[in-house]
Chain A
Amino acid sequence: MITNSIFYFFVVVVGTAGEMCVSRATKAIGEVHEFTPRSIARHVGRAMTVPWMWLAIFMMAVAFFSLLGMLATAKASFVYPSTAVSYGVGALGGKFFLKEQVTAERWLGVAVICVGVVLVIIGKG
């Protein structure tokens, strides 16, 4: 239980922070216009030159290891919905860290998602 709580924290908080670092890194190198393999490879290569990307990779690796830890003992139909609390964390991060305009409609959607997550968590059989 305690082990899974620790894993849960890493998945939600560290994982979401890592994703926000990905967004910051990719925005820094610009939009993808061509979808040829060479263009995609070049884009990924350029992303790797941005420090935010390496921080993102480290944080997302920690989150992934933690996800595997949770999956060892908990059902998939519980683990994935329960970690969806990260939508709230992500919307807050989008607004305050990435300076995105999160509209009232998006906030409402995120809030509804979170209600669904709560139902999933308390609905364990």
Chain B
Amino acid sequence: MTVQPGRRLKTYIMILIMVTVTPLGDIFLRKGMAEIGAMASWAPADVFHFFFRAFTSPLIWLGIALQLAFFIAYLLVLSWADYSFVQPVSTAIAYPLIALLGRFVLHESVTPLRWVGVVVICLGVFLVGRTQVKTTEDAI
């Protein structure tokens, strides 16, 4: 089963956009939530207060804006490509980028074993990325 070159190209362009905005958004969300700290309890008032503080943080909204950009790209790409292809490729490549940003921007400690895990995730992503974009019966 062959895949049209145009469809493959537009799939990869969308994935490039998605893997760029995701790690940046994630880092903003972490930075914003770290400033707020742990939720005091599951009491409704505490839960409300916790999320109220979250949604009045500019950093959180910046993170949300980038997540929204990811979501729109996801919405579009899923209209022609398989979920089981798009989901691993579009989101797993972001993991090493998140780890790098976490280490060097947020100054988080990342152990050697965790870096190995990140590399293994990349290998898995490579394997998934080699498969065809669409494999369901109504494919091209």
Contact = CB atoms under 8 A, between A and B. Distances in A.
Interface of A: 3, 19-20, 22-23, 26-27, 29-32, 35, 40, 43-44, 47, 64-65, 67-69, 71-73, 75-81, 84, 86-87, 90-91, 93-95, 98-103, 105-106, 108-125
A106 B67 CA distance: 26
A71 B34 contact: yes
Contacts of B85: 106
A81 B117 contact: yes
Interface in B8-39: 26-27, 29-30, 33-34, 36-39
Contact of A101 (B60, B111, B135): B135
B contact patch SS: helix
Tell me what chain A mostly uses at the interface: helix, strand, loop, or mixed.
Answer: helix
B79 A116 contact: no
B75 A44 contact: yes
Q: Interface range on chain B: under 10, 10 to 19, 20 to 34, or 35 or more?
A: 35 or more
B98 interface: yes
Contact of A75 (B30, B51, B130): B30
Nearest to B95: A81
